[in-house]
Chain A
């Protein structure tokens, strides 16, 4: 009964636009579908509190937050925000923008096709988190809250007022349940309706939007890569809340429909944006982070073929990266290599990939007859066997092939078409450092792997993989040779990792068995690879790329955590699995899964009228 009333009265209200939110909370008398708020404030007062609080937080960033430059980022200048102040500034500005959009100001409506007030709440929470963190960090770093200047207090208290105001705003979705505790009401306030279908714009505008979005995305990522520890934490807080807010506001779903419509444009835009990254970097160390992220992401995408599409849990995947890297190192002409050969790069890549492929088939052929947990255990074992074998092929415990624990050092730099990747080049006035050169090379491989993933996924073989993942018995009954199809997935995944390995060997100068552990604090390792796939979103392309970037940056930026890294990492994974089991990027299937109420149990309307009476009689 109650659900009926919600459905009927709910639809017109949550159709998602600005004008209804301010008034309905007070005027609507039906107890069934009143938009609640977490705190009982009059909506007008709440809105003013958000606006005033955000404005205060924004203005506070122009004042000094502390008296000494000892705290990183120089927060002492009045009139010129720096470091973490910039992040608070951006967050507060966004809060203001979305609040004003919620007021129904013309020209800002496009910001909120979905939720209206939940983005405001999320953004204000982000500002409070960042500002609060900054104040805490200053106090901790310099010894006591006396080190805070008035600017910090203004921003902090402003952010707090904004959050209180945002909690007083009516929720975007009406509810029929009496949410008794404020916590439940707050969680309800965070929900937002999905945006309605967008108007179709001219193609060139849509393409411009995609290109612009990727430009902004690149800028944000580059900012994160360059950030120092403290700044990175603030960046992370604001980014997480900001991204969730944009999602609730309906902008990210809108963008997703656009990218799904113009996939080739999206692909090109992403590659171009990524290729521009080294040109924006003056410091070689950031380009090195970039190339490491790319290697990690590419291998994660290869693993996604195995785990995400075919559903084979591979816990020793990093071994294939190692096979590629060792093969490339052995034929690179390194003085430490047992083979006195120097293959050109293309030949080394093919050899490395072929070696990985062979290993994939050798490991896959016996293990893929196993299902589920057993496969995971066996692959875990093989991953370790690879590392230990490389350790033992040192001349004393076995034949001398890999120099054992010393690994293969002094791997020479690549030279492709007369372009030496080891030295700096000046291109169009930009200086490309050594890591930047490798970054561009690796980007090419990433693009290839993305194409391979996309094309294989959307084909007869890709459907067979998914079918095997869903129900192996039914799949074989549909004529799919399960073993063969799984072996193809396994071998393809191995080959893609091998490609990445050949570049990795040259980027890192030397390779040792200890780079290919199951779990380590430094990616890539098997556990992190799997985590990147699951965190990012299984079966998607952008998911593992984003997951890999996060999982590389977080340990790299938060090195002071040291021993707690893996603990926090585990906690983060548990929280993610609890609140967003489909991963950061949900693929088409997962999205449908999580919106199943649209379709589930809907009685078959077209057929009933003809024979309902007869059916009920027969039933009785």
Chain B
């Protein structure tokens, strides 16, 4: 069903020198990234670092200004549907389900690239059509069981709770039988318990032989999950490596928390602040008196 899990590492995704400019703004600057089979790679960075833009470059929603993206050795076309066809599926940062379709239908839409029945076969309803339709249904229900939503197959997707919508989006992406799954903030807005469940889900997906590239702000989630983490800051890749390397890297901390004061950030500053506060208190004590005198 899925491609066999090879222990030898093969490169699934290779992005080299990807640059994306919008007019004068360079959102992504010459980023290289590889994802190997069986790997979970994390992509982190502060807000506005260009993570989602980079994702859009990978999936053909944007055509990169420079650089190229190849999947399993072949350069990817710059049309989203062809990228999905090639084997890269994605989810969206702000959930983009087909709100007024049922849960099952959402997953069936994900099967689009793996089925070929056109208008004629739909109109004539030959045995081939029925077989393909039945197979699609079966596969879609399998996926819904996998994410635990089979009992809600007939619900409208917009009526699902938030966490389940996230899961459904993943199931929809999996329906296209991808070799690489791109997850854009899969745990945004989830409580810790749901996040843990999402973690399990991503591991289970990896165990099916699907490589995963994930954008996330939840650091515990990322460091539990990922074999490798890349940090994107202001459109540029700052570091890449194991969780420990990234966690220890001062530049990463600086990017998230800001750099400490130059010189001695100790007693002098504290004294200064205290002096300022005392002055302010004095000023407020004075003002009412001044207000009365005239």
Contacts and interface: CB of A to CB of B under 8 A. Distances in A.
Contact of A492 (B119, B132, B158): B119
A488 B121 CA distance: 14
Contact of B96 (A462, A463, A474, A593): A474
Contacts of A140: none
By secondary structure, the B interface counts as: helix
Given A476-B81, A478-B109, A478-B110, A604 B161 contact: yes
Contacts of A604: 161, 163-164
Nearest to B164: A604
A456 B123 contact: yes
A459 B133 contact: yes
A599 interface: yes
Nearest to B192: A618
A443 to B, nearest CB: 19
A107 interface: no
Interface in B164-206: 164, 172-173, 176, 191-193
B98 A471 contact: yes
B113 interface: yes
Nearest to B151: A606
B105 A466 contact: yes
A464 B105 CA distance: 10
Interface stretch (B23-31, B36-44, B84-92): B84-92
Interface string A272-296: 0000000000000000000000000
B275 interface: no
A257 interface: no
A470 B115 CA distance: 21
A460 interface: yes
A611 B125 CA distance: 48
Contacts of B163: 604
Nearest to A467: B109
A456 B118 CA distance: 9
B139 interface: no
A482 interface: yes
Interface in A592-620: 592-593, 596, 598-604, 611, 614-615, 618-619
Contacts of A461: 117-119, 122
Nearest to A592: B156
A364 to B, nearest CB: 14
Interface residues of B, number: 50
B80 A466 contact: no
Contacts of A615: 191-193
A596 B156 contact: yes
A183 B158 CA distance: 34
Given A463-B109, A464-B109, A464-B112, A593 B156 contact: yes
A479 interface: yes
Most buried by A among B79, B100, B136: B100
Given A478-B176, A600-B159, A589 B100 contact: yes
A97 interface: no
A473 B122 contact: no
Given A471-B98, A599-B155, A599-B159, A477 B90 contact: yes
Interface string A538-573: 000000000000000000000000000000000000
B98 A466 contact: yes
A304 to B, nearest CB: 16
Contact of B97 (A456, A474, A598): A474
Most buried by A among B79, B98, B176: B98
Interface string B126-137: 000100110010
A59 interface: no
B109 A477 contact: no
Given A478-B109, A615-B193, A471 B96 contact: yes
A481 interface: yes
Contacts of A488: 119
A455 interface: yes
A596 B155 CA distance: 9
A470 B99 CA distance: 7
B86 to A, nearest CB: 9
A523 to B, nearest CB: 28
Nearest to A611: B193
Contacts of B155: 592, 599
Interface string A443-487: 000000001100110111111101100110111111111100000
B24 to A, nearest CB: 25
B160 to A, nearest CB: 8
A598 B193 CA distance: 25
A479 B85 contact: yes
B98 A475 contact: yes
A470 B98 contact: yes
Contact of B80 (A476, A492, A602): A476
Contact of B123 (A452, A478, A482): A452
B84 A479 contact: yes
B61 interface: yes
Contacts of B141: none
A599 B156 contact: yes
Contacts of A602: 161
B59 interface: yes
Contacts of B136: 460
B129 A459 contact: yes
A236 to B, nearest CB: 32
Contacts of B79: 476, 481
Interface in B48-88: 59, 61, 79-81, 84-85
22 contacts: A456-B119, A458-B122, A459-B121, A462-B122, A463-B105, A463-B108, A467-B112, A470-B99, A474-B92, A474-B96, A474-B97, A475-B98, A477-B80, A478-B173, A589-B100, A589-B101, A589-B156, A593-B156, A599-B160, A604-B161, A614-B192, A619-B192
Closest 9 CB pairs of A and B: A479-B113, A459-B122, A479-B84, A599-B159, A474-B96, A470-B98, A476-B80, A618-B192, A467-B109
Interface of A: 451-452, 455-456, 458-464, 466-467, 470-471, 473-482, 488, 492, 589, 592-593, 596, 598-604, 611, 614-615, 618-619
